[in-house]
A = this chain, B = another copy of it.
């Protein structure tokens, strides 16, 4: 299991939230996607952190980013981006 952490700064947080909620299932129904959690900044209300648990980095790439799912997802939420999101993968320290 790996954790995708995406830092997303947006121009219109309420518009972004609505677009995300409408598009969420495109991401959440992807094979290998185990959980999706979107959070909004308290100190920085235009900043969001998206946390997605994937079976593997390969599942994220092959089942989502290289497919039409990603095109549809980005078409929905991309218009609200203030800049390119910072997206990286992490593993648990235990």
The A interface, classified by DSSP as helix, strand, loop or mixed, is strand
A89 x B42 contact (CB < 8 A): yes
CA distance A92 to B37 in the complex (A): 7
**Interface check A49, CB cutoff 8 A:** yes
- Other-chain residue from B2, B3, B39, B93 in contact with A92 (beta carbon distance below 8 A): B39
List chain B residues, Cβ under 8 A from A74.
none
Contact partner of A42 among B38, B44, B51, B91, CB < 8 A?
B91
Distance (whole angstroms) from the CB of A15 to the closest CB of chain B: 13
CA distance A36 to B93 in the complex (A): 11
Known: A40-B93, A42-B57, A57-B42. A47 touches B88 (CB 8 A): yes
